[in-house]
Amino acid sequence: MTVEQRISVAQLNELSDEQKEKLSEQWEPQTYDIFYCGGKIRTVTLCSREKPDGPKLVWYHGGHATKGCCYPLLSIGQCLELLEQLSNDGFYAIDRRTDKNGSREYAVIMDMFKSADKELIITLWQAVKAVL
């Protein structure tokens, strides 16, 4: 059984323009983050600013882009970090259930939101979308 580790481009495209902008604002690119930019999936090699007050540049093999036009393909850990930052009171719960047939399901519960799925990343992504 393979466990999905990060969201897909299709999931990223579920966001409204407003949600994408908020996601971009919250993302602090780190070396080796995987992101989507210009129709391609890329890996961060370096982040820098040309001027102290200038836009943050995200460098990848073969070029660079400004942070505002790039969106992270969030990992499980990055989803957890965003939930911590963006949930109203910082409270959320994750529950893992196994039925009598051995099928697993993960649930995220916070405020007036609940999501459940067999894949942890899908459950976390639903919660992140709700707080963006």
Q: Would 1 be classed as within a structural domain? A: no
pLDDT of amino acid 1: 65
Provide the residue range defining the domain that includes 39. 9-131
Residues 6+ apart with CB under 8 A from 37: 58, 60, 65, 69, 70, 71
- Phi and psi at residue 87, to the nearest 5°: -70, 145
Q: Coil, strand, or helix at residue 55?
A: coil
pLDDT tens over the chain, length 132 residues: 688 999 999 999 999 999 999 998 899 889 999 999 989 999 999 888 777 787 778 888 888 888 888 999 999 999 999 988 887 666 788 888 888 888 888 988 887 788 889 999 999 999 999 999
Report how many domains make up the chain. 1
Q: Would 62 be classed as within a structural domain? A: yes
